[in-house]
A = this chain, B = another copy of it.
Amino acid sequence: MTTTVPDVLRDAGALVVPRLREAIATLSVENQQVVDYHMGYRDAAGQPVQRRGSKSVRPGLALLSAQAVGGTEQDGLPGAVAVECLHNYAFLHDDVMDGDRMRRQRETAWVVFGQSRALNAGTGMLVLGMQTLLAAPSAHREAASRLYADTCQTMMTGQGMDIEFEHRLDVTVAESMAMTRGKTAALLSCATTIGAVLVTGETDVTRALHEFGTEVGVAFQARDDVLGIWGRPEQTGGRPPGFDLVAGKGTLPAVVALQAGGPASDELRALLSAPPLDQDRAARAAELVDRAGGRQWTEDLARRCVATAEEIVAGLELDDSVRDGMIAVARMGLPDDVR
């Protein structure tokens, strides 16, 4: 087993991207332009961009998901395309809502095309995923479509919480976990399940795969939340350390630290109550989150989730390559220090 990026994820791109681009080509000219830019296929002037290979975690999981119940990668392909559509819908909308101007070292789509076009193209992507599933050559495409629609709604729930939490310093750990389950884990568990649902419909195995995805999704978010405060720019797509604190995002480490009580917690609350944070204050805030236990708690959470995910995988009858792939993906959620 490898602990670098699993082969299945590297290979997924080659299989999924052409199908995804075919799907995107069915969008209207106006929406296609926005999506092609956002996906990194074209620059703002519409010129093709030479793409570097990127890891394709979610579509790769959708292909693995089909293989987990004896299907082929091809069987999982509509699910992989749909999950990519949904993932990128979320980027396009969230960047507008959060006012984020940069993603993956490029200006976000709304900065280039305006908010309305980015939003409209984003909703177009959400619908495109649904259209892809409803046209899938599978006897179980209806069940897969239902999973997709339910996932969308859960993501709206998570995003609704995220918006509400932005103005609050009293968010509880339970609330923050619920948001994480909605925003990140729902999409991840859709990815780990949808290929299998396309092959077999809903079964005990697909339900186990869904739980696996939830654990991995929470681990990924926990890891991302740690990177959002202590990550180096090369780990975070160019964002400076402390970014999430400066942006006022109540991610798990900060929520845990604020709820912990004690002097570090109190000083942190005082700091975060008086935005904006300059670089020095952001560095101090990051230190206080650490001191109040927010970093340790979040890293422990990621480790626990990965362990649970591995247990779920151990309980399934899987080919070695599928099992190895799933475990390798799960371990991508481990905090950096133990990787």
Those of A99-119 within 8 Å (CB) of chain B: 114-117, 119
With the chains together, A156 CA to B131 CA distance in Å?
Answer: 13
A285 nearest CB across to chain B (Å):
24
Extra contacts, 4 of them, besides A30-B164, A124-B156, A124-B157 (Cβ < 8 A), are A28-B157, A31-B157, A130-B130, A131-B146
What are 18 sample pairs from A and B whose C-beta atoms fall under 8 A apart? A28-B161, A30-B161, A30-B164, A31-B157, A31-B160, A96-B116, A120-B156, A120-B159, A120-B160, A123-B126, A124-B160, A126-B127, A130-B149, A134-B145, A134-B146, A135-B146, A142-B145, A145-B145
- A58, CB-defined interface residue at 8 Å: no
A226 nearest CB across to chain B (Å):
25
- Give the residue of B96, B117, B128, B157 whose beta carbon is less than 8 angstroms from that of A160: B117
Q: Is the CB of A128 within 8 A of B142?
A: no
- Give the residue of B93, B126, B141 whose beta carbon is less than 8 angstroms from that of A119: B93
Q: Is the CB of B163 within 8 A of A30?
A: yes
With the chains together, A161 CA to B28 CA distance in Å?
Answer: 9
Q: Is the CB of B164 within 8 A of A149?
A: no
Q: Is the CB of B117 within 8 A of A156?
A: no
Interface size grouping (class) on chain A:
35 or more
With the chains together, A163 CA to B110 CA distance in Å?
Answer: 13
Those of A236-289 within 8 Å (CB) of chain B: none
Most buried by B among A120, A126, A131: A120
Those of A175-226 within 8 Å (CB) of chain B: none
Q: Is the CB of B127 within 8 A of A149?
A: yes
* A119-B97, A156-B120 known; A149+B134 contact, CB < 8 A: yes
Contacts of A157 in B (CB 8 A): 27-28, 30-31, 124
Convert A119-160 into 0s and 1s, putting 1 for each residue whose CB lies closer than 8 angstroms to a CB of B. Answer: 111011011101100110000011001100110110011011
Contacts of A115 in B (CB 8 A): 97
With the chains together, A150 CA to B135 CA distance in Å?
Answer: 11
A: residues with CB less than 8 A from B are: 27-28, 30-31, 93, 96-97, 114-117, 119-121, 123-124, 126-128, 130-131, 134-135, 141-142, 145-146, 149-150, 152-153, 156-157, 159-161, 163-164
Chief secondary structure at chain A's binding surface = helix
Q: Is the CB of A127 within 8 A of B146?
A: no
- Give the residue of B116, B119, B141, B152 whose beta carbon is less than 8 angstroms from that of A142: B141
Q: Is the CB of B123 within 8 A of A156?
A: yes
> Quick one: closest B residue to A167, CB to CB?
B114
A174 nearest CB across to chain B (Å):
15
A95 nearest CB across to chain B (Å):
11
Q: Is the CB of B97 within 8 A of A116?
A: yes
User: What 5 pairs between A and B have smallest CB-CB spacing?
Assistant: A30-B160, A28-B157, A97-B116, A124-B156, A127-B152
Contacts of A28 in B (CB 8 A): 156-157, 160-161
With the chains together, A130 CA to B117 CA distance in Å?
Answer: 23
A54 nearest CB across to chain B (Å):
26
A46 nearest CB across to chain B (Å):
14
